[in-house]
């Protein structure tokens, strides 16, 4: 079997199984585990904190001991996390599972791409990564359909456990199927892991600090992180609590939400790719201004179908942000140290989610879910000001 097909098979199957869980998470957390708004946000915060803490150590593990081993460990940990959260519908178990999920994902993040790049010796990477993204997208779409079918046939809880068990099986299969023939340890002679990390962080920070545009983009990334965690954890609860969706009814609706949002995202990104033509800051300014309005409208929509419409508008606008941000940052980063600088943007996003999530959760707990989503929308406002500054200088 060609190495590319192994890569497509592993990434596509993992995306399918993870999406099976993500499609049903909001229903499970609210209807089965009965988490309150603060707890809903805290589980996401715990996951992001885990990612923040373990991203660099697990990256060093992949470079020292092998990318295949890191990939297998990460996939297995994801499976364990979903089995744990599905088996015990209690906050402590779901929180522990979220921390485990974050740890597992950091083992996969970067290691998988480095593995296939090594095995192909740098050839045809653009084609392989783009094709791999298509397989992953198709896998996620199938995961939505499969999760709805299994949850209807069995239960939401059983579907999450099944997906976790299949992820552990995928990890075991990858151990035997995935080859690793080109791996070379990257540790420099006489250097320590801490010294390597310090040098990399210093270089990345220097690039960002030395550019007013990159500094503004970093602040915008932080604000997006502050706003995103609360919304991500509360939108499903708003549909369930405010519009009284019953369990089976919620399964079908959430499957519909994810499936249609997936298709709309593809369409919106194709439009942006075709018509933006360098006007990145202007598009971001318009999109984020509309985003604040759509989030506020969603938070206080009194009618179910109005909320559904605003949910899709909000999702489409949010999905414009990161592709345009990636273009603007990569255009301004030097080749040397680019990966480290980009990882720092990711860390800023994670830090924002860690800081903003509990704040939004507390507001939602002591006011309402609508109040929490309102707070998330307002956290975007400072970012709009920095985007406006970018538009003037970019």
First CA to last CA distance, the chain: 47
- Measure the CA–CA gap between 58 and 42, rounded to whole angstroms: 23
Provide DSSP, 259-302. HHHHHHHHHHHHHHHHH-TT-HHHHHHHHHHHHHHHHHHHHT--
Per-residue pLDDT at 339 exceeds 70: no
284-295 residue pLDDT tens:
999 999 999 999
- Measure the CA–CA gap between 225 and 350, rounded to whole angstroms: 6
Q: How far is CA 102 from CA 50, 80, 115, 276, in A?
A: 5, 12, 20, 34
Going by C-alpha positions, the residue among 378, 363, 376 that lies closest to residue 37 is 363
Average pLDDT over residues 89-113: 91
| Delimiting residues of CATH 1.20.1250.20 domain(s) in the chain | 1-177, 193-394
Average pLDDT, whole number, for the chain?
Answer: 86
Name, in order, each residue with C-beta under 8 angstroms of 79's C-beta and a sequence gap of 6 or more. 164, 165, 166, 167, 168, 169, 170, 171
Per-residue pLDDT at 226 exceeds 80: yes
- Measure the CA–CA gap between 345 and 98, rounded to whole angstroms: 22
Residue with tokens 């909320």: 307
Going by C-alpha positions, the residue among 76, 71, 69 that lies closest to residue 169 is 76
170-222 residue pLDDT tens:
999 999 998 888 776 655 555 555 666 666 566 566 667 767 888 888 899 99
Report the Cα 51 to chain-centroid distance in Å.
11
Q: What is the pTM of this model?
A: 0.80
Residue 237 confidence (pLDDT): 92
DSSP 39: H
Going by C-alpha positions, the residue among 225, 239, 227, 228 that lies closest to residue 29 is 239
Q: How far is CA 252 from CA 150, 255, 276, 285, in A?
A: 11, 5, 35, 35
Average pLDDT over residues 94-120: 87
Average pLDDT over residues 93-111: 91
Residue with tokens 């249609």: 260
> What sections of 154-246 are H helices per DSSP?
156-177, 193-209, 212-242
Q: Directed axis angle between helix 338-366 and helix 193-209, to 10°? A: 80
Residue 299 confidence (pLDDT): 96
Going by C-alpha positions, the residue among 258, 274, 343, 355 that lies closest to residue 308 is 258
Query: Is pLDDT larger for residue 323 or for residue 226?
Result: 226
Reading the block at residue 219, the tokens are: 């602040």
- Measure the CA–CA gap between 217 and 214, rounded to whole angstroms: 5
Taking 3-state DSSP, the helix, strand and coil percentages for the chain, each rounded to the nearest 5, stand at: 85, 0, 15
Reading the block at residue 73, the tokens are: 């460990």
Reading the block at residue 90, the tokens are: 């209690």
DSSP 187: P
Per-residue pLDDT at 253 exceeds 60: yes
9-29 burial code (b ≥16 CB/10 A, e <16): bbbbbbbbbbbbbbbbbbbbb
Percent over 90 (pLDDT), the chain = 50
Average pLDDT over residues 344-360: 86
122-137 residue pLDDT tens:
777 767 776 787 788 8
Residue 279 confidence (pLDDT): 81
Residue 57 confidence (pLDDT): 76
Which CATH number does the domain 193-394 belong to among 1.20.1250.20, 3.40.50.300, 1.10.1060.10, 1.20.1260.10? 1.20.1250.20
Residue 52 confidence (pLDDT): 85
Residue 130 confidence (pLDDT): 67
Average pLDDT over residues 242-248: 82
Average pLDDT over residues 232-249: 88
140-166 residue pLDDT tens:
889 999 999 999 999 999 999 999 999
- Which top CATH class is 1-177? mainly alpha
At residue 349, what are phi and psi to the nearest 5 degrees? -60, -45
Residue 92 confidence (pLDDT): 97
């Amino acid at each position: 079997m060609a190495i590319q097909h192994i890569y497509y098979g592993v990434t596509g199957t993992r995306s399918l199984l993870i999406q099976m869980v993500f499609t049903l998470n909001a229903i499970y957390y609210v209807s089965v585990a009965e988490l309150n708004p603060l707890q809903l946000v805290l589980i996401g915060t715990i996951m992001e904190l885990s990612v923040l803490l373990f991203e660099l150590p697990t990256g060093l593990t992949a470079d020292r001991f092998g990318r295949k081993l890191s990939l297998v460990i990460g996939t297995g940990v994801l499976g364990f996390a979903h089995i744990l959260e599905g088996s015990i519908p209690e906050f402590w178990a779901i929180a522990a599972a979220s921390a485990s999920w974050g740890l597992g994902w950091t083992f996969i993040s970067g290691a998988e791409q480095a593995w296939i790049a090594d095995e192909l010796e740098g050839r045809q990477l653009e084609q392989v990564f783009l094709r791999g993204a298509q397989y992953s997208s198709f896998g996620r779409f199938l995961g939505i359909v499969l999760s709805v079918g299994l949850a209807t046939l069995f239960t939401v809880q059983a579907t999450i456990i099944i997906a976790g068990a299949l992820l552990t099986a995928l990890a075991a299969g990858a151990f035997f199927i995935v080859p690793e023939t080109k791996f070379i340890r990257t540790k420099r002679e006489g250097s320590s892991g801490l010294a390597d990390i310090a040098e990399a962080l210093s270089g990345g920070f220097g690039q960002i600090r030395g550019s007013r545009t990159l500094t503004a983009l970093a602040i915008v990334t932080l604000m997006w992180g502050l706003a995103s965690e609360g919304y991500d954890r509360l939108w499903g609860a708003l549909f369930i609590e405010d519009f009284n969706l019953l369990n089976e009814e919620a399964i079908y609706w959430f499957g519909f939400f994810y499936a249609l949002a997936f298709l709309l995202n593809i369409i919106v990104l194709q439009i942006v790719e075709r018509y933006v033509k360098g006007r990145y800051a202007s598009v971001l300014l318009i999109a984020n201004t509309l985003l604040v309005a759509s989030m506020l409208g969603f938070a206080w929509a009194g009618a179910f179908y109005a909320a559904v419409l605003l949910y899709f508008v909000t999702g489409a606008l949010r999905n414009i942000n990161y592709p345009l941000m990636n273009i603007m940052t990569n255009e301004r980063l030097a080749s040397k140290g680019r990966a480290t600088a980009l990882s720092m943007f990711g860390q800023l996003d994670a830090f924002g989610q860690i800081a903003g999530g509990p704040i939004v959760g507390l507001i939602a707990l002591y006011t309402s879910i609508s109040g929490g989503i309102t707070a998330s929308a307002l956290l975007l406002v400072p970012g709009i000001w920095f985007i406006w500054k970018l538009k003037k200088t970019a």
